[in-house]
């Protein structure tokens, strides 16, 4: 955890050999295992390095240590040595290495307030679902990082579990590295069998024929299997089920790409992949799951990954073992190979996210650390452009690999062939267990593959539906909003370029009614939310830090189209400025979703929508909430500093909270009314009219077309009679 410490004493001095010099001799890579006994005499332990740089700040880092000897204190010190360039640029910061522990232990530490500031992970949903990882998107935008430099399947995995929030830009981690697979082939044994090696571009049928030809009892030996396809399954425990990239190659998937709350295992491509794999396995053509089987000749071919697999091959497949690397099959739906899902993320509870982000960026998006990790463990870099350099570094530190085609890995990465998969939006771990159970039943022949796929899909869909209720989503989103706002200082964001600060001709858009506090507002625009707004807003500047703003929505009607859009909205809004990405809080009536609370706690950040439950509104389950069908709703926003509480009422007398108090990072605000047609944009694509009365705490002074330059629509004139009726 990020912490401040007192005087730690002077810099440790004395003569020692550096860990960097050990790397230059190839100890950590070509040797290839890091051993505590070898390096313990070379220099200080982690505690020595931690105490060496006296500093008022300690940043706790939980790194990836999944290489030979990676769990030792000496190896942790070696990781710190690779961090020296970053430490040199941050003289006021000291880094402490935390031991690698289980995901459950890390989550428990975070919940107890003792989490690592920057941490390595493999499975994202447990952190995301518990709101324990910080959204990195604001940092990514401000740093100008080009996301195309990473594997696009990895980025898709990181955002898939977010559903609509993910597509809006939520991003909780960046790649720690990018490992991938090719096929290792024992060429010497093939020649003994009179077979030619596989060639790049072979499809699954050609590989099947090759494995069948290479599978037979040899005199005096046990049965020889042609090959092995097995790699970690969806739940990362194997279980006999193919990994996502196999399914992807057949046109299938575990998770529906169009709806991450639905299982895709019953798709014909998924069923076809499972059937193909299980038929080969039951026929005895595929078998084995040990790298030693290829070196001994028992197994002719099998998946070989970068990192630990290459380390093993460099150490053990030597001497008389003649082997090479070829690409994986070109599957019926196209080429695909494994992509690692490992990531670095920032604990949401870190007090200084900017420093943690600087470290994460160094680990994931800068070249020096990537090169260091290649030397240390032959791990592939997260940056695609560094892979040619990765080849050269591997050959420098693991000379036995000079006779095989390492460029197969490089080509796969640079063509974006590694595939990570997608996460279920809810209950990801539970869904994986359901899939595993049915895949094992099919592999054992207890159930047909199509039946297993269908039953697994049905159970996962039911699990997703139960876990994805509106109440649970709201609770999780609310926690995320509160934490995001609490971590940011209160500061105003300047209006964004292209956001309308110029007021519209008020008479054409806003009309005061005959009674005090009554208004009609003409609206177009698509919606508010995500990271930008598109609506018509009528308000005035307010500076009071203690205040109440309220109104009643009396009508929401269409003017130019036969029916209202389900996303047409009218309500009460406060915002930090008139920029379309300003920090804001809006309580509104919608056509399709009842009353909702929309929150963007920090300027230029991502918004969250919180539906107000029927029980909160005090109406029966059979009643319709939206004012568009004739039921007025009172709305109120109460302010106390930066804390805001929303209330709703059906009679203007009894007010009920629409959720818990929220923190929004604004000081002075604009308070007023807003309306949007949900028409996909500005420009005469459809207008709505909203009626308001009982406005308290503000008087709209002008109307603004947020998300546009302030110019009235270029097409579709404003309906001339929109103001003829006074507010109800």
Banded model confidence at residue 470, pLDDT cuts 50, 70, 90: low
Banded model confidence at residue 712, pLDDT cuts 50, 70, 90: very low
User: 393: which residues sit within 8 A by CB, 6+ positions away?
Assistant: 371, 374, 375
**Cβ contact 306:180 at 8 Å:** yes
pLDDT of 155 > 50? The answer is: yes
pLDDT of 507 > 60? The answer is: yes
Query: Does 184-334+426-467 match 485-706 in CATH topology?
Result: no
User: DSSP labels for 613-637?
Assistant: PHHHHT--TTS---GGGT--EEEEE
Please write down the HEC assignment for all residues of 22-59. Answer: HHHCCCCCCCCCCCHHHHCCCCCCHHHHHHHCCCCEEE
Closest C-alpha among 521, 510, 623 to residue 571:
521
Using a 10 angstrom Cβ sphere, with 0-12 exposed, 13-18 middle and 19 or more buried, the burial of residue 4 is exposed
Q: Residue 221 and residue 198: Cα distance in Å, rounded?
A: 24
> Which pLDDT does position 573 carry in this prediction?
96
Banded model confidence at residue 512, pLDDT cuts 50, 70, 90: confident
Average pLDDT in the 506-530 region?
82
Q: What is the pTM of this model?
A: 0.63
Average pLDDT in the 651-663 region?
82
Closest C-alpha among 236, 210, 332, 338 to residue 275:
332
> Which pLDDT does position 439 carry in this prediction?
87
Give 463 or 470, the one with higher predicted confidence: 463
pLDDT of 472 > 80? The answer is: no
User: DSSP labels for 674-723?
Assistant: EEE--SSSSSSS--EEEEEEEEES----EEEEETS-SPPPSSSPPPTTTT
Q: Residue 722 and residue 265: Cα distance in Å, rounded?
A: 52
What is the chain's mean pLDDT, rounded? 79
Name the DSSP class of 98. P
Q: Residue 189 and residue 17: Cα distance in Å, rounded?
A: 44
Banded model confidence at residue 319, pLDDT cuts 50, 70, 90: confident
Average pLDDT in the 344-364 region?
93
> Which pLDDT does position 424 carry in this prediction?
87
Q: What would the pLDDT profile of 27-36 be if each residue is shown by its tens digit?
A: 333 334 332 2
Topology (CATH level 3) of domain 184-334+426-467 = D-Maltodextrin-Binding Protein; domain 2 (3.40.190)
Q: Residue 543 and residue 671: Cα distance in Å, rounded?
A: 10
Q: Residue 295 and residue 311: Cα distance in Å, rounded?
A: 14
Q: Does domain 3-178+341-418 have CATH number 3.40.190.10?
A: yes
For 582-606, b/e burial (b = at least 16 CB within 10 A) is bbbbbbbbbbebbbbbbbbbbbbbb
Top mean-pLDDT range of 11-15, 185-189, 602-606: 185-189
What are the domain boundaries of the chain?
Answer: 3-178+341-418, 184-334+426-467, 485-706
Q: Residue 74 and residue 97: Cα distance in Å, rounded?
A: 11
Give 154 or 251, the one with higher predicted confidence: 251
Banded model confidence at residue 51, pLDDT cuts 50, 70, 90: very low
Q: Does domain 485-706 have CATH number 3.40.50.720?
A: no
**Cβ contact 275:282 at 8 Å:** no
Q: Residue 228 and residue 283: Cα distance in Å, rounded?
A: 13
* Secondary structure of residue 369 in the 3-state scheme: helix
Q: What would the pLDDT profile of 567-612 be if each residue is shown by its tens digit?
A: 788 999 999 888 888 889 999 888 766 788 888 887 766 677 776 5
Closest C-alpha among 446, 487, 9, 437 to residue 233:
437
At 216, list the tokens.
């037979």
SS3 content of the chain, % helix, strand, coil (to 5): 35, 20, 45
Q: What would the pLDDT profile of 52-98 be if each residue is shown by its tens digit?
A: 334 468 899 999 988 877 777 788 888 888 999 999 999 889 999 98
């Amino acid at each position: 955890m990020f912490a401040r410490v007192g005087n730690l004493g002077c810099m440790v001095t004395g003569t020692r050999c550096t860990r960097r010099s050990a790397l230059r001799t190839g100890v950590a890579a070509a040797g290839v295992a890091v051993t505590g006994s070898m390096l313990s005499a070379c220099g200080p332990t982690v505690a020595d390095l931690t105490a060496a740089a006296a500093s008022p700040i300690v940043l706790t880092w939980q790194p990836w240590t999944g290489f030979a000897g990676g769990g030792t204190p000496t190896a942790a010190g070696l990781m710190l040595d690779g961090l020296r360039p970053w430490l040199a640029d941050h003289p006021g910061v000291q880094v402490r290495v935390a031991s690698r522990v289980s995901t459950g232990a890390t989550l428990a530490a975070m919940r107890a307030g003792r989490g690592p500031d920057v941490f390595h992970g493999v499975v994202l949903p447990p952190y995301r679902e518990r709101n324990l990882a910080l959204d990195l998107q604001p940092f990514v935008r401000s740093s100008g990082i080009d996301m195309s430099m990473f594997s696009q399947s990895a980025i898709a995995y990181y955002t898939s579990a977010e559903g609509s929030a993910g597509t809006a830009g939520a991003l909780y981690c960046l790649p720690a590295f990018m490992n991938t697979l090719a096929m290792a082939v024992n060429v010497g044994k093939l020649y003994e069998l009179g077979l030619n090696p596989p060639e790049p571009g072979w499809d699954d049928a050609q590989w099947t024929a090759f494995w069948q030809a290479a599978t037979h009892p040899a005199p005096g030996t046990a049965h020889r299997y042609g090959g092995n396809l097995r790699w970690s399954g969806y739940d990362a425990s194997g279980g006999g089920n193919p990994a996502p990239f196999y399914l992807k190659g057949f046109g299938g998937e575990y998770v529906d790409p169009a709806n991450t709350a639905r299982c895709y295992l019953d798709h014909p491509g998924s069923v076809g992949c499972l059937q193909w794999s299980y038929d080969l396995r039951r026929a005895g053509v595929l078998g084995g799951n040990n790298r030693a089987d290829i070196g001994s000749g028992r197994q002719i071919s099998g998946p070989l990954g970068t990192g630990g697999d290459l380390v093993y091959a460099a150490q053990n497949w030597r001497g008389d073992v003649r082997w090479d690397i070829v690409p994986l099959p070109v599957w019926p739906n196209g080429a695909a190979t494994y992509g690692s899902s490992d990531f670095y993320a920032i604990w949401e509870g870190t007090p200084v996210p900017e420093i943690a982000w600087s470290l994460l960026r160094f680990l994931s998006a800068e070249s020096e650390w990537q090169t260091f990790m290649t030397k240390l463990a032959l791990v592939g870099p997260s940056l695609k452009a560094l892979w040619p350099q990765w080849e050269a570094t591997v050959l420098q530190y693991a000379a036995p690999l000079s006779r095989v085609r390492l460029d197969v890995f490089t080509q796969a990465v640079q063509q974006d062939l590694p595939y990570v998969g997608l996460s279920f939006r809810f209950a990801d771990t539970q869904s994986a267990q359901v899939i595993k159970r049915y895949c094992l039943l099919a592999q054992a022949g207890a159930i047909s593959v199509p039946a297993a796929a269908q039953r697994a899909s049905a159970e996962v869909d039911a699990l997703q539906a139960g876990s994805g209720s509106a109440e649970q989503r709201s609770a999780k989103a609310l926690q995320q909003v509160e934490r995001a706002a609490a971590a940011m200082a209160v500061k105003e964001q300047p209006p964004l370029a292209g956001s309308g600060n110029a007021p519209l001709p008020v008479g054409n858009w806003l009309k005061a009614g005959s009674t005090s506090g009554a208004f009609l507002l003409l609206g177009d625009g698509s919606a508010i939310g995500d990271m930008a707004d598109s609506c018509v807003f009528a308000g005035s500047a307010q500076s009071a830090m203690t205040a109440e703003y309220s109104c009643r929505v009396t009508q929401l009607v269409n003017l130019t189209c036969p029916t209202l859009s389900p996303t047409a909205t009218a309500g009460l809004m406060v915002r930090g400025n008139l920029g379309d990405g300003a920090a804001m809080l809006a309580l509104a009536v919608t056509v399709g979703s009842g009353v909702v609370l929309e929150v963007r706690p920090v300027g230029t950040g991502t918004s969250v929508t919180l539906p107000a439950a029927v029980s909160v509104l005090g109406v029966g389950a059979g009643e319709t909430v939206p004012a568009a069908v004739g039921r007025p709703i009172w709305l109120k926003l109460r302010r106390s500093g930066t804390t805001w509480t929303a209330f709703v009422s059906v009679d203007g007398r009894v007010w009920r909270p629409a959720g818990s108090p929220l923190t929004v990072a604004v000081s002075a605000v604009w308070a007023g009314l807003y309306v949007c047609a949900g028409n996909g944009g500005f420009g005469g694509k459809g207008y709505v009219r909203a009626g308001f009365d009982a406005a308290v705490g503000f008087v709209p002074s002008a109307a603004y077309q947020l998300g546009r330059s302030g110019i009235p629509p270029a097409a579709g004139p404003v309906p001339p009679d929109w103001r003829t009726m006074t507010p109800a």
